[in-house]
Structure 1
Amino acid sequence: MNNFKKVILSVLCTCLGTGFSLNAGTKKDKTITHSVFIAGPQFTGIIDEQGEVVWDSGRSGARDGYVLPNGNVLVCWGDEVKEFDKDKNVIFSYKKRQTEGKVELGTAVRLENGNTLITESSNDMPRLLEVDKSGNIIVSVPLQPETDNVHMQTRMARKLSSGNYLVPHLLAFAVKEYTPSGEVVNVFKTDRPELGGKEAENWPFTAIRLKNGNTLINLTHGNKTIEVNKKGEIVWKVSNEDFEEKPFQDPCGAQRLPNGNTVIASYGAKEGIKLFELNRKKEMVWKYTGYKVHDFQILTTNGVPVKGTPMK
C-alpha cells in the first residue's frame, strides 16, 4: 500500500477477517488470528491477519524493531537503526560506530524518555547506548559479554522500570542486569545442569522482564524457552520434548501476550512453523508458516489491537 497511515489503521484498528496459517490448538480454544510486524532475513515489515503484506520496509535482514504507538516503525539492522514515519520518511537514524574492528547493532527500543536503546557489539568496546532524537549518545553502558566473538556477544537488550538494563549474553550463558554505570547486579545462568549444561548450548537470546517480576528467556541452540523467578528458579519450561511438530528451531524473538500466552519465533526453521503461540498448558493455539522470523511484534488479535507496552 502507498498510504502508510491507512496501512497502520487497518492493521491496528480494523477486524481483518478469518485469519491465516493458524492452528486452533484444542477444541476449547477459539480460532486465533494475528497481524504481525516481522524483522527477518527474508522480509521486514507488517503482515495483516490474512497473511498479506501491508507494509514493507524495503530491506530484509532486520534484527529488532517495534511499531510505535504513533504508528511509526522503528527497525534495527546490523549496521543501522531507522525510524519511519507514516509517509515512510526516515525521521531518526543511528549508524554503527566506525572502527577498524567489527561492530554490530542488535537492539532498537524506544524508551519512555524519548531516547532509543541500542546495543553495539564490538571487538574493542561492546556497549549499550541511549541515543536521543538527534542521534546523540546520551548514555553509554559498557557490557561484559565474556567473548570477543562479536556476533555472539549479545542480542535484544531491554530497559527495566528500575532504570537498569537486562541484557542476554549468548556465549556467556548468562542474562545480566546492568546499572547505568555498567555494574552487574544480577545474573541468570543458562548452562545449569538441569538444562543440560554447556553441552546443550542454551544461549540466551531474548530476556523479557514480566509484570510479576519473572523473566522469560529464549535459549536458541538449546531449543527451549524458560521462565525464571526473581531467585533464578525455573518456574516454566517448554521445548521440543513437548510437541510432535518439534517447533523449536533456534528460537530467537519472543513475546508474552496480555492473556498470558507466549509467542516464539523459530528463526532456524527453513520450512513449516516460523512463529507459534503457546498457552500456559504448553498447547499450541496459533502458528505462522510464512516468512522466516528473527524478531517480531504481535499487533492485533482477532482484529483487536494488543494493549499496553509489548512485552518482547
Structure 2
Amino acid sequence: MMHRLPLTALLLCLLVQGAVAQEITHRFLACGQQTYIVNTDGKPDWTWPAATRDGYMLDDGSILLTLSKSKRYSGGAVIKISPAGEESLIWQGTQSEINSAQPTGDDSYVITEAGDDPRLLEVSAAGKIVREFPLACQKTNHHMQTRMARKLSDGTYLAPHLLDFAVFHYDQDGKVLGKLDTTAPGDADHKIQTWPFTAIRHADGHTLVCCTHGNRVVDFDASGKIVWTLTNNDLPGDWLQDPCGAQVLPNGNVVITSYAAGRADPHAPKLFEVTREKKVVWQYVDGQKVGIHHFQIFTTNGEKLDGPVLK
C-alpha cells in the first residue's frame, strides 16, 4: 500500500533536498600566465598584467604575488598590490627565478630562489633578510629545483624538490630533518617523473603532495606512509594533467589545479574539488588553453574561509 506524504511534509523534504544539493561556489585567485581573481559567478573581477607563480590574499586585502622572470625582473620578484592597486616591491630575485613566496603571519615572507646557489630566504616586509639557508636540491637544472616552499607552525620548512623526487623537511638552520619520497610504486628509475610541486601540512601531521607530470596526488601520514592517492582512474576523465597547486579546505576537501588541462581540451576542468571519498563536488572550466599554476580559494558559498591558508 502506498502512503502519501502530507503536502507540508513533502515541501519540507524538497527544501531539505535542495539544501543538501546546493551548488558550491568559490571566489579565488588564479596565478599563471594570466593573473586574476574569479568571483562566485565564475567570471574574473580583477586582473594583474603579469605572469605569476604563487599568490596570496593578505589580511588587509592586499595581494602578494610571486612574479615569473621577465624583462622587468630577470630573476623574478615578489610584489604586494594594495587594495587601491598600488604596487610595492618586497624582493627582487638575484638568481635564475623565484618560485614561491608565503606570508608567515609575522610580517615576513618565505621565498625560494632557484639558480647556481638555490636558497630559502625569509625576509621582512621591508625586504631585509632575517633567515637564509641553502637548499639541498640538484643544481644542474635551475627551473626544476624547487616549487612551493612553506613555513610550518613549528618554525620548520617544507620544500618540494622536483628532480630529487622528494619533499625535504628543513629546520630553521637548513638542516634536513627528513624527506617524503614521491617516487611512484615500481618506478625506481623515475621514468614516470612524479615531481613534487606542492606540499601541504594539514590534519594530524599529514602532508598532501601534488606530483606534477606523474599526475598523482598523495597524502602522507605523520610517519611518512602514503595513506591516500588520487589518480585519473578515480576521476570522471583525465583531469590530472600536470597537477601543480592544491589547497586543503577547512572541511577536508581538496581543490587541485591541473596546469596543462586546457592544452589538449580547453573544456577540461582547470580546478576541481574532491572529497576524501574522491567525489568531485565542484569544478571550474573557462574554455581557455592557458592553465592555472597555483591559486587560493578565498570564499565558499560567499563565506570567508576560516583558519590558516593550507596551499
Quote how far apart the aligned CAs of 1:258 are.
0.5
Equivalences for residues 17-96 of structure 1 within 5 A: 29-41=21-33, 43-59=34-50, 61-78=51-68, 79-96=76-93
Match of 2:96 in 1: 103
Give the AA of the match of 2:49.
G
The one-letter amino acid of 1:231's match is S
**108, 114, 126: which is aligned to 1:115?**
108
1:92 touches 1:134 (CA, 8 Å); kept in 2? Answer: no
* Alpha-carbon distance between aligned partners in 1 of 2:62 and 2:175, rounded to the nearest angstrom: 33
Partner AA of 1:261 in structure 2: N
2:245 match: 253
Residues 255 and 293 of structure 1: CA distance in aligned 2, closer, same or farther (over 3 Å): same
1:311 counterpart letter in structure 2: L
Q: What is the CA-CA distance between 1:223 and the residue it aligns to?
A: 0.2
What letter matches 2:306 in structure 1?
A: K
Taking a change above 3 Å as real, the CA distance of residues 90 and 84 of structure 1, as seen in their structure-2 partners, is same
Confirm whether residue 163 of structure 1 aligns to residue 121 of structure 2. no
Secondary structure of 2:163's match?
coil
Comparing 252-261 with 134-143, greater Cα deviation is found at 134-143
CA distance in 2, matches of 1:164, 1:259: 25
Q: Residue 287 of structure 1 corresponds to which residue in structure 2? A: 283
Deviation, structure 1 residue 162: 1.4
8 Å contact from structure 2 (residues 115, 139) kept in 1 = no
Q: Where do 5+ consecutive residues of structure 1 fail to align?
A: 1-26
- Cα distance in structure 2, aligned partners of 1:38 and 1:227: 24
Equivalences, count: 279
Q: Is the 8 A contact 1:147 1:171 kept in 2?
A: no
Residues 105-129 of structure 1 show CA distances to partners (whole Å, capped at 9, x for unaligned) of 0111111221111100112x10000
**Which amino acid counterpart does residue 238 of structure 1 have in structure 2?**
L
- C-alpha distance in 2 between matches for 1:267 and 1:151: 16
Give the Å deviation of 1:146. Answer: 2.2
Kindly report structure 1 stretches of 4+ aligned residues shifted beyond 6 Å: none
Task: Report if aligned partners of 2:217, 2:230 keep a CA contact under 8 Å in 1.
Answer: yes
More relative contact order in 1 or in 2 (CA 8 Å, sep 6+)?
A: 1
Structure 2 counterpart of 1:242, from 206, 224, 234:
234
1:232 Cα deviation after fit: 1.1
Letter in 2 for 1:302: N
CA 1:134–1:192 in 2, change beyond 3 Å: closer, same or farther?
Answer: same
Matched, 1:143 2:135: yes
Distance 1:169 1:30, change over 3 A: same
The one-letter code of the counterpart of 2:178 is N
| TM-score using structure 1 length | 0.86
Report percent identity of matched pairs.
41
Report which of the two structures shows the higher radius of gyration computed on alpha carbons.
Answer: 2
- Deviation, 1:250, is 0.1
Counterpart AA for 1:254: A
Shift of 1:179: 1.1
Counterpart amino acid of 2:271? L
The separation in 1 between residues aligned to 2:234 and 2:187, in whole angstroms, is: 15
Counting strand residues as a fraction of each chain, which structure ranks higher?
2
Query: CA offsets, 1:62-100, max 9 Å, x none?
Result: 100101111100000131110011111123421101xxx
> Paired residue for 2:10?
none
Displacement, 1:134? Answer: 1.4
Alignment partners' CA distance in 1, 2:206 and 2:21: 26
Indicate the RMSD between aligned Cα atoms, in angstroms.
1.6
Partner secondary structure for residue 212 of structure 1: helix
CA distance in 2, matches of 1:188, 1:138: 27
Residue aligning to 1:22: none
CA distance in 2, matches of 1:95, 1:69: 23
How far has the Cα of 1:296 moved from its partner?
0.3
3-state DSSP class of the match of 1:171? helix
The Cα shift of 1:29 comes to 4.8
